[in-house]
């Protein structure tokens, strides 16, 4: 996977219009507030050392970092986070995506986190987030913020294990469905 650093895109006009209309008069969802308050928080260039210059172009690492932050804030699995990118207007707004953008495969998040950890960039993500929050006056110096990544890595490992267990069950059910479709239909109740 290669990286060609990009600037954070402006929120497309149609995405902004529809997301604002859907949010109504109440407080906007977290993802929209993050974009409005912090803008393009993670620059692609911050992750350049984790990506090569050759190969197929991957999804923006700055956007993947934002997806990871939102994923942790909302305690979502990789698949659930990808579904939010694909269908949630507030996430499209936050990431500067067109309404038609279908996002990416769930495996991309795991690969991204692995690259970040392998290149020692996990603290950089946290430091960028804390600096932006401090710059906006949302956290104060001297408070109790955790700046080590141990708890973040533990949460990522837990999500990866949960995702692996779910994928194992799905693969087993697909194999059973191919081998004995009648048995699976009798044993499992399939909801619509």
pLDDT of 115-150, one tens digit each? 888 888 878 777 888 888 788 777 766 656 555 566
pLDDT at 90: 92
Higher pLDDT, 40 or 84: 84
| Cα-based angle 9, 65, 135 (whole degrees, multiple of 5) | 75
Q: Tens of pLDDT along 98-121? A: 999 998 888 888 888 888 888 888
- Residue ranges of domains in the chain: 13-182
8 Å CB contact between 72 and 66: no
With 70 as the cut, is the pLDDT of residue 50 above it? yes
Contacts of 108 (CB under 8 A, 6+ apart): 58, 59, 64
With 50 as the cut, is the pLDDT of residue 2 above it? no
Distances (CA, A) of 59 to 93, 111, 129, 180: 16, 11, 20, 39
With 50 as the cut, is the pLDDT of residue 30 above it? yes
Whole-number Å distance between alpha carbons of 43 and 47? 8
Binning the chain into helix, strand and coil, the percentages to the nearest 5 are 60, 0, 35
CA torsion, ordered 36, 93, 66, 39, to nearest 10 deg: -30
Of the listed ranges 19-33, 42-56, 76-90, the least confidently predicted one is 42-56
Structure-token match 């050759």, residue found: 54
């Amino acid at each position: 996977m290669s990286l060609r650093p990009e600037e954070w895109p402006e929120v497309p006009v149609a995405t902004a219009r529809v997301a604002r209309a859907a949010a109504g008069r109440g407080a906007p969802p977290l993802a929209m507030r993050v974009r409005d308050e912090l803008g393009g928080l993670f620059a692609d260039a911050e992750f350049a050392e984790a990506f090569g210059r050759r190969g197929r172009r991957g999804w923006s690492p700055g956007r993947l970092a934002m997806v990871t932050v939102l994923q942790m804030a909302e305690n979502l699995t990789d698949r659930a986070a990808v579904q939010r990118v694909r269908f949630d207007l507030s996430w499209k707004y936050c990431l500067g995506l067109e309404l038609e953008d279908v996002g990416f495969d769930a495996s991309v998040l795991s690969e991204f986190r692995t690259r970040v950890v392998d290149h020692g960039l996990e603290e950089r993500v946290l430091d960028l987030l804390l600096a932006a929050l401090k710059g906006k006056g949302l956290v104060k110096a001297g408070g109790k913020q955790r700046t080590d990544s141990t708890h973040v890595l533990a949460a990522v490992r837990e999500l990866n294990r949960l995702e692996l267990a779910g994928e194992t069950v799905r693969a087993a059910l697909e194999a059973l469905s191919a081998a004995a479709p009648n048995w699976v239909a009798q044993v499992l109740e399939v909801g619509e």
